[in-house]
Amino acid sequence: MHNTHPLYVRPVTDAERHALEDRLRSPDAFVLRRAQIVLASAAGERVGQIAPRVGFSGQAVRDVIHAFNRRGLDILTPGSHHPDVVVSAFDTPRAQALRALLHQSPRTFGKETSLWTLELAAEVAYEQGLTATRVSDETIRATLARMGVSWRRAKEWMTSPDPEYARKKARRDRLIRLAQAHPDWLLGFADEVWWSRLARPALRAWQDDDHPLRLVEQTLARDDAPKALACYGLLARSWDVDQRRSEELWLRFVDGRPVSAVTIDFLSWCAAHALRQGKRAVLLVWDNASWHDSQIVRSWVRTHNRQVKLAGQGVRLIVCYLPIKSPWLNPIEPKWLHGKRKVMEPDRLLATAELADRVCAVYGCPHEPHLIQPKKQPKTSKKAA
């Protein structure tokens, strides 16, 4: 028959209780959780009550209680578990088999989940004959740690659906090599971004329970527009004769939104800016946004390059379109995210001018006059014509 009596720690001495209470302020989660388990058990709480509060499995809580009953306060020292138990449970071949086990889905073994836990790994390892008995969660964790396997956040992985991904990426890489070989050429990664006055980026910050960082939701009055500022950006990179790279970000805000006409104004400004730096060509890398790929923009680029060739002076624009949905190929993308975290004000609504000034300060560039979206010409009826 199974023992149905609830499991508790042995009687705790006053000295042990004081030491455990001191550990409740420890910054080490290992020490903190173990102290919480022992004190809760000493107060009469059962394993099933303690486990969800400390984020442990029931077996892990029982392991801590058993360890305290045997070794006392020594369990508060990280790494105090007995390694010989781990080695005897998993020798090298079986440890490697355990790691290979985690590369498969638990559903392969008839489990109703796609994610491994320590408890589930211990269960399947026993069912597959890797261990002679059902080992503890801590044994599984320590065995995996020996092989460099740890609990980490899963990475979100994007793929491009573009059937010509390899060709377009190869063209981008070729332009990068050309820019590195020509000191008078400039490599430019272009993109547009909206700087919102209301949205708050996800972020982490140093804080404590007494002074938490609160991102206060903001609202706009009807006459307080706009909600966000559109902005064109060019991450300009160039290499000197010694292959030392220099980098700066060129920004132009837009009164309105990105359209083909504004894109042309931005490209014209970039060409003039590059010319002042002594460049002869800008290798432009950007995505397939409609205001990049429009016939108007393409025609303007061809006309501009033809005029530069005829005049024998000026800056040519060599355009490279990235594969569809491939933001990882444009290094300006992560710079937007970092910038949004830096300009954010947690509990106050920023004025439009203040937001623009903060953005320019973050990237170390001057606040240039805003580009202006042309107004649509009113359609005239045939009768009026």
> What pLDDT sits at residue 220?
81
Predicted local distance difference test score (pLDDT) of residue 76: 87
**Residue owning tokens 């005829």:** 310
Q: What is the DSSP letter of 117?
A: -
Sequence ranges of the domains in the chain: 14-76, 83-146, 165-201+225-372
Q: What is the 3-state secondary structure (H, E, C) of 1-40?
A: CCCCCCCCCCCCCHHHHHHHHHHCCCCCHHHHHHHHHHHH
pLDDT in tens, 35-76: 999 999 999 999 989 988 888 888 989 999 999 998 888 888
- Predicted pLDDT at 235: 97
Whole-angstrom distance, CA of residue 292 vs CA of residue 357: 26
| Domain 165-201+225-372 annotated CATH 3.30.420.10 | yes
Q: How many helices (H) and strands (E) does the chain have?
A: 14, 6
Torsion of CA 222, 354, 189, 232, to 10 degrees: 40
Q: What confidence score (pLDDT) does residue 4 get?
A: 61
DSSP states along 35-83: HHHHHHHHTT--HHHHHHHHT--HHHHHHHHHHHHHHGGGGGSTT-S-H
Per-residue pLDDT, 84? 44
* Nearest by Cα to 98 from 47, 65, 137: 137
The pLDDT of residue 86: 43
Which pLDDT score, from 0 to 100, does residue 210 have?
A: 77
Instruction: Please state whether the predicted TM-score (pTM) of the whole model is above 0.75.
Output: no
| Ranges of residues in the chain whose predicted pLDDT is under 70 | 1-4, 79-88, 377-385
Residue reference for tokens 């800008």: 282
